[in-house]
Amino acid sequence: MARDISDKGYCSTKSTHYYGVKLHVVAKPTPGALPVPEFVGLTPASTHDLTVIRPILHKLEGKALFGDKIYADQPLNERLHQQKDSFIYTPVKLVKGESEQERQRKRAADNLFSKSVFSIRQPTESLFNWLIEKTNMQNGSKIRSKAGIMVHVFGKLAAACFLMFINP
């Protein structure tokens, strides 16, 4: 299926490999409603998420971004903070080589911070679940071309956004 845009990826959360594409969304929070997509991208399944976000970071000036652990890149975050007054908050990752005593000492603060990030990210996760539920976007088993994938994904995304705005 559309080998020029789709390939094999791995979902670490579900511990499974899959074939296809990934939809990336940077969404703006909306109180009491689903977040509104600001940036949307489609990449082969194997593309690293940081590779996708780097080209748009210059457009995200003065923003607090909340991502999953894959976005925990300290040098990138420092550059983003210095150049654009933005910061990417992510759940705390374990540090390789850190002693068990040190982990235990920091565990309560790390867990509290990670839960805070997860709670802020929850509406974005809800947006993805809503998109899947309303559009069946993940089911593209009969698509054979890049154009077909684009029509499938962005057509369903457009229809979902239309639904979101006419029926908030």
**pLDDT in 10s for each residue of the chain, 168 residues:** 677 888 998 887 788 998 889 999 999 888 888 898 889 989 998 998 888 888 888 888 888 889 888 888 888 888 888 888 989 999 998 888 888 888 888 889 999 999 999 999 999 999 999 999 989 888 888 888 889 999 999 999 999 888 887 876
Query: Sign (positive/negative) of CA torsion 59, 9, 18, 21?
Result: positive
CB contact at 8 A, 143 and 23: no
Question: What confidence score (pLDDT) does residue 112 get?
Answer: 94
